[in-house]
Structure 1
Amino acid sequence: MGVSTAPPATAATAPQSSQVDWLLCSYAWLNPAFGRFVYSTLIQPGLRAVPPTHGVDVVALARHVMAARRHRRLVIVLALVDVLLIVAGAGLILGLGRFTAGDLGWGLAVLLGGVLAYFVLIGWHLGVTRTRASRLAGGPPPHPRDAAARLPDAVEERLDAYAKSNVIVFGGGIPFVGAGKLLTRWNVQVDTTKAAKDDHGRPRAVQPVNAEELQKALSITVRKAGIDGIRVNNRLFVDGTRADAVDGLLPDPEQPPSTTVARSEIRRAILNATVNARTYLCIEVPSWNGELVVTVFVRAVEFGTDLYAEFYAYVLLPLHPVVASAENLPISPYGRAAHLARWTVPTGLRLLRNAPHTLFMTARWRRFLARRPAVQRRIIRKSAFFDYGAVGGIRAAVAAEHRDRLFAYEDEERAIKSIRKAVLKVVVQYVSDHGIDTSELERQQSQIFKQTINIRDVKGRNIMLGDNNKFFDGLAMGGADEDDDGSGGTAGGKTDDDSDDEEKP
């Protein structure tokens, strides 16, 4: 768990991509609001920590976000030139009283040429973005990183470090930031002074227990559970207002927290957990080609003469349907031509109508990002505490609100039950090996097995399975922002981090 000295991942050594990576990269081309959200989270995050990536290849995503931004900047520049031509043509026409009939002809030509060029530009823009998005959704290249230009080495190294982080600096009071929906939580208590009895009914010798030892046994056993794609590691969770309490986490108070800490800090927070820093065993089980992610957080705790085991299960549901909208784009030449014919004029008119507001909000957002580090540093200098913690998360922001597939319901429940069984088996075996009576623990185990995991309802297109058992006509897709052609949006509500120019402590 120490600081990694491996070289940064490149296109040749990039981690294996999943369908989530392809779809998120495609969505960056379709939805500018999502691109701004990713940019402010990954490229210019300020001094706060970056949320966990949960398997998302943030290097590939950042590359496509930047490529889409460069494309849109070019479109804006060319559109401004077209608008100037249109204004010049209109000026020649309106000045007819002072010009000749030839000037009128030139005015009409310039005006019509500017209008035509504008809509050709919008059609080209839609064609480029939709083509890139549909190709990414299909996943033909070897890796999504290969489909966009590299970023500066320093930026890519920093992005790679996020995926290798062994510490989570959280804000908002909930340590499991970006993990999704809470499904279930429980803990078991063991009286370590109550000796078990041998075959002759005599008390066995009770051996001292150790939380770190139990957590290590849990890690080894879960790794060998035979669950495909499982990821198991210890991570230190630190309250963002107390980041300076962990050695090496905040070497410079006016810079973001480190993404890794020494292994000794990970161990120290197992045996000597505080109200601000604790180590959990993080167990991630991705399925559905990365779309469904079940994460379990387990911690062993010694408290007086008792031994506790804590268990929290979260799920990141499959991507919101609108994020996968690129899969529905036409791929045939005729289909693409029909798509552009349908959307070019309304999109061009809408963009022109909204241009003043869009330019103003974009300038305000860029000003906010540019000023954010300086504002945060002023708060750090004049305040006793500053919250360095991360909130939200890219993967959580684009997750669906409801389960619309019964198979997803079954798969997440199966993953949780398998991990729960393995965890409880290790705890019982560990306690038994130390000569401690397990009768009360086994009773608690039976109660836990009887618990219903809080998966709630499964909402399909035409029917809802669950306690309510009623027809459900269509999947709700509220809170979506329009994309370039009005056919899609971003899930998860507001994505722009420009609500206030001042950073709140």
Structure 2
Amino acid sequence: MTTFLFRLFYNHAITGPLSRQHFSAGDAPEPRNSLLRARILEVDKQQQGNITIYKGFKPFRGYGKVIGGWSFAIDITKPKELGGKCSRFKVHEMRDYVRHQVEALEWLGLTVEERIFVSGRDVSDGGTFIGQDGRPRATIAGREMRNLLSEPDNRARPYTVIRLLGWDGELALTIFLRFVIVKRNLFIEASHSILTPLRDSFRRHDQVKRVEGWQGYLSLALRSIRLFSRPLSGFSHLGERRDDRRALVGVADRFTGSDFDYGASFSAREWASDERYQRYFQKLDSEMYTKVVEQRIFDALVQFLDERHIDTGELVQRQTTILNNGVMVTGNGSINAENVAGGAGAHAGHGGQKGGGQPNGT
């Protein structure tokens, strides 16, 4: 009887208030467990920050698979006209100009932010990125942020993060931009990441039908007659409470040593992503919006340098090469692209599945 009532309640919950048609995250009740409530508040705080402390080798943790990129360097002391004089500028001036030009697209689903990426092995207690409680900080601001944005050789790397959400959040394309002035050269780097839709296994509850009528109740009752089904399931809640307590205790109380990695090694959204697109138009939209954003970036760069009487001939040539690289759309839902470098001495990122997000409302 207990199993039957549990399954009946479960069925009515996922076909009622938890169904796709009725569920709203804003109306979700708070957990009764005080530890879980505190944990949710901590997660929300971290989501609003501007620091990413990653674990392992790959820095763009949580943004999906890196699908390509490009980089190049140009001489910013070469005047546009013979005998002319170039105007000097700070790297944050170019960063702000490009960011504002991209934001001017005014697409629903487009966000642009400045974010710091640092390895969890390059932070330490009492430093810039670890708070007094021994936990990684979520946000850095003021003079500390300005110093990191202008520091070209620091292990903590600043990026302008351009993100496009499309298909009701099913797709998320992210472009990471970095600008560095090294003596007489301006170095520009871009990396692309994609979060694809959730795997079908996470949608199986959308197909569950509500139990109704005597035949439905009888079928559910027969399925509930299973002796000793998961006899130890009652102890799972004790394990969850233990894990919650461990997660909420002070980091400094549990770990010592300078080699501890504070970085995050897991992203639930990234883990749940499918290996390919689920709609043909997702593939087409990804390439279109990637090109539009990159076109806006290059136009902003050319305008910014023109205003300072810096020769942009090499930049325009590399823009053409990057924007017109060959792309092949295959029949299995993936996109294979040839990553390109922007000219002599430039570097191209590793290729893979190519894709992106489509902003809503287009």
Give your verdict on TM over 0.5. Answer: yes
* Structure 2 segments unaligned to the other structure (5+ residues): 337-362
Amino acid of the residue matched to residue 129 of structure 2? L
SS state at 1:237 partner: strand
Q: CA deviation at 1:262?
A: 1.5
Q: CA deviation at 1:230?
A: 0.8
In 1: Cα distance, 2:146 partner to 2:136 partner: 19
Alignment-derived partner of residue 416 in structure 1: 290
Count of equivalent residues: 332
Alignment-derived partner of residue 111 in structure 2: 231
SS state at 2:66 partner: strand
User: Which residue of 352, 355, 360 corresponds with 2:231?
Assistant: 355
Distance of aligned partners of 1:465 and 1:259 in 2 relative to their CA distance in 1, 3 Å threshold:
closer
Amino acid of the residue matched to residue 290 of structure 1? G
In 2: Cα distance, 1:258 partner to 1:337 partner: 56
Q: Tell whether 2:261 aligns with 1:403.
A: no
Alignment-derived partner of residue 122 in structure 1: 3
SS state at 1:231 partner: strand
Listed one character per residue, the Cα deviations across residues 213-238 of structure 1 (whole Å, up to 9, x for unaligned) are: 11111111111113222111111112
In 2: Cα distance, 1:160 partner to 1:374 partner: 18
Alignment-derived partner of residue 195 in structure 2: 316
Alignment-derived partner of residue 380 in structure 1: 255
Q: Tell whether 2:160 aligns with 1:277.
A: no
1:409–1:458 contact (8 Å) kept in structure 2: no
Percent identity between the two aligned chains? 21
SS state at 1:259 partner: coil
Report 1:249-328 matches (<5 A). 249-252=129-132, 255-328=134-207
Amino acid of the residue matched to residue 98 of structure 2? L
Structure of greater relative contact order (alpha carbons < 8 Å, 6+ residues apart): 2
Alignment-derived partner of residue 352 in structure 2: none
Q: Tell whether 2:16 aligns with 1:138.
A: no
Alignment-derived partner of residue 444 in structure 1: 318
2:152–2:181 contact (8 Å) kept in structure 1: no
Q: Which structure has the larger Rg over C-alpha atoms?
A: 1
In 1: Cα distance, 2:218 partner to 2:331 partner: 38
Distance of aligned partners of 1:165 and 1:376 in 2 relative to their CA distance in 1, 3 Å threshold:
closer
1:188–1:441 contact (8 Å) kept in structure 2: no
Alignment-derived partner of residue 46 in structure 2: 162
TM-score normalised according to structure 1 size? 0.59
Alignment-derived partner of residue 484 in structure 1: none
In 2: Cα distance, 1:238 partner to 1:187 partner: 20
Distance of aligned partners of 1:375 and 1:227 in 2 relative to their CA distance in 1, 3 Å threshold:
closer
Distance of aligned partners of 1:288 and 1:337 in 2 relative to their CA distance in 1, 3 Å threshold:
farther
Distance of aligned partners of 1:286 and 1:124 in 2 relative to their CA distance in 1, 3 Å threshold:
same
Listed one character per residue, the Cα deviations across residues 176-203 of structure 1 (whole Å, up to 9, x for unaligned) are: 1110122221113211122111xxxx33
Listed one character per residue, the Cα deviations across residues 332-390 of structure 1 (whole Å, up to 9, x for unaligned) are: 734x963x65565456638x34434x567776666566456779646633x22211111
SS state at 1:451 partner: coil
Q: Tell whether 2:70 aligns with 1:191.
A: no
Amino acid of the residue matched to residue 322 of structure 2? I
1:279–1:299 contact (8 Å) kept in structure 2: yes
TM-score normalised according to structure 2 size? 0.80
2:101–2:296 contact (8 Å) kept in structure 1: yes
Q: CA deviation at 1:304?
A: 2.4
Amino acid of the residue matched to residue 321 of structure 1? D
Alignment-derived partner of residue 349 in structure 2: none
Distance of aligned partners of 1:329 and 1:432 in 2 relative to their CA distance in 1, 3 Å threshold:
same
Alignment-derived partner of residue 10 in structure 1: none
SS state at 1:326 partner: helix
Alignment-derived partner of residue 244 in structure 1: 124
Q: CA deviation at 1:251?
A: 2.4
Q: CA deviation at 1:302?
A: 1.1
SS state at 2:175 partner: strand
Alignment-derived partner of residue 304 in structure 2: 430
In 2: Cα distance, 1:132 partner to 1:166 partner: 37
Alignment-derived partner of residue 62 in structure 2: 178
1:234–1:266 contact (8 Å) kept in structure 2: no
In 2: Cα distance, 1:179 partner to 1:284 partner: 9
Amino acid of the residue matched to residue 380 of structure 1? F
Distance of aligned partners of 1:370 and 1:228 in 2 relative to their CA distance in 1, 3 Å threshold:
closer
**Higher deviation after alignment, 180-189 or 259-268:** 259-268
Distance of aligned partners of 1:181 and 1:284 in 2 relative to their CA distance in 1, 3 Å threshold:
same
Q: CA deviation at 1:445?
A: 0.9
In 2: Cα distance, 1:443 partner to 1:412 partner: 24
Q: CA deviation at 1:126?
A: 2.1
**Higher deviation after alignment, 263-272 or 417-426:** 263-272
* Structure 1 segments unaligned to the other structure (5+ residues): 1-116, 468-505
Distance of aligned partners of 1:337 and 1:307 in 2 relative to their CA distance in 1, 3 Å threshold:
farther
Amino acid of the residue matched to residue 231 of structure 2? A
SS state at 2:266 partner: coil
2:179–2:187 contact (8 Å) kept in structure 1: yes
Q: CA deviation at 1:137?
A: 3.0
Listed one character per residue, the Cα deviations across residues 76-121 of structure 1 (whole Å, up to 9, x for unaligned) are: xxxxxxxxxxxxxxxxxxxxxxxxxxxxxxxxxxxxxxxxx2xxx2
Amino acid of the residue matched to residue 260 of structure 1? T
User: Which residue of 68, 78, 84 corresponds with 1:204?
Assistant: 84
Alignment-derived partner of residue 491 in structure 1: none
Q: CA deviation at 1:280?
A: 0.7
2:134–2:250 contact (8 Å) kept in structure 1: no
1:171–1:389 contact (8 Å) kept in structure 2: yes
